[in-house]
A and B are shown apart, each in its own frame.
Chain A
């Protein structure tokens, strides 16, 4: 029997997006062997399960009262699916608001062939909805992320929760070593799984031929909440694993974050103190290069992105917002404040 692919789609109140997500999975050049939608604690008036159930070839595993949010739903689905799969079968875990591009399953499966220790293949993400400035700025950020990872041959980054394919033996390894595949107590279960796989000596890749389009958050407040959560999960995971060969680089990156925060605070201080005297003649060519870099790295996100990249201060404000969210997330996690912050749905 050939390799089988099971696609798991946890969904919490996703009635607005689930149809497009399923359409994307069913339009694959390499069809999935199983498609399982997992409506998880959906509201009574939400039609996610009903919509998913109307598709031929889609199984619906509705869960009520389950704890652990998305991680809990995925663990429950994996508990049901993994026993029926062989070691080299593949499982795709993906968000219910993400549309995978038509060749994703075929390309991802090909990456696994002949790579016995390849544990996961993640998609790279694009944003194609530009209804608000925040959405456009995220599209630029995601495009830069894709470019950055591509230039490092995909050997970098998180196996994202938006869409990633895992080898069954790798998932079983994680379950044996850590009790659950996805940690329901972690703010970012996909980052935790990535680091866990590294510690179990599995390799991972994020190739450019595996793309998915996802839905961005639509306003600054939702973005702040989302990035605060990501930051909490990031530092939570690093602290759980400590300083190891596999966490050394992520830890080192924290120095970069501290530097970024410090330099931004100092820049604010200077702007406040000297106001109009801040700009010197030599700044001009430097800023020309920085703006050219901004355009160069984001122009593939479209002409709107190019315009925003030319308006350099807009992106500076966005970067400050992200940095503030990360700093706030770290602060809450490290001081154990914000415990009452329930996992909030962000506005999309």
Chain B
């Protein structure tokens, strides 16, 4: 279960149990994964490395 406000809203509100709700979860997972991947690459770019 996602712990953000929106996923709680989706899980417990009027949209729960509908196809729309599951789409929302997939969308959240994709967005979260994209954010984490961006974060990982950003952290890698902070590593000192010489430019040749």
**Chain A residues in contact with chain B, CB under 8 A?**
147, 150-151, 153-154, 207-208, 259-260, 262-263, 266-267, 269-270, 273-274, 277-278, 280, 283, 286, 289-290, 292-293, 296-297
Contact = CB atoms under 8 A, between A and B. Distances in A.
Contact of A289 (B27, B28, B43): B43
Nearest to B5: A277
B34 A263 contact: yes
Interface string B8-48: 01000000000000001001101101110111001101100
A147 B51 contact: yes
Nearest to A146: B51
A151 B52 CA distance: 7
Q: Is the interface of B mostly helix, strand, loop or mixed?
A: helix
Given A262-B30, A273-B24, A278 B6 contact: yes
Nearest to B36: A286
Contacts, number: 63
B42 A267 contact: no
Contacts of A292: 42, 46
Interface residues of B, number: 24
A280 B4 contact: yes
Given A154-B52, A289-B43, A297-B45, A277 B31 contact: no
14 contacts: A150-B51, A151-B49, A151-B51, A153-B52, A208-B51, A270-B31, A283-B35, A286-B39, A289-B42, A289-B43, A290-B38, A290-B39, A293-B42, A297-B45
A76 B46 CA distance: 46
A48 B35 CA distance: 49
Given A263-B31, A266-B27, A277-B9, 17 more contacts: A150-B51, A150-B52, A151-B49, A151-B51, A260-B34, A263-B33, A267-B31, A270-B6, A270-B24, A270-B27, A273-B27, A274-B24, A280-B4, A289-B39, A289-B43, A292-B46, A293-B43
Which 4 A/B pairs are nearest by Cβ-Cβ distance?
Answer: A150-B51, A263-B34, A293-B42, A280-B4
B6 to A, nearest CB: 4
Contacts of B24: 270, 273-274
A290 B36 CA distance: 10
Contacts of A260: 34
Contacts of A280: 3-6
Contacts of A278: 6
Contacts of B42: 289-290, 292-293
A296 B27 contact: no
Contacts of A262: 30
A269 B27 contact: yes
B30 A266 contact: yes
A144 to B, nearest CB: 9
A147 B5 CA distance: 38
A150 B51 CA distance: 4
A207 B39 CA distance: 28
Given A273-B24, A277-B5, A293 B30 contact: no
A35 B28 CA distance: 57
Contact of A263 (B4, B5, B30): B30
A164 B27 CA distance: 44
Nearest to A208: B51
A280 B39 CA distance: 16
A299 to B, nearest CB: 12
A283 B34 CA distance: 13
Contact of A208 (B3, B28, B52): B52
A150 B52 CA distance: 5
Contacts of A290: 38-39, 42
Contacts of B50: 151
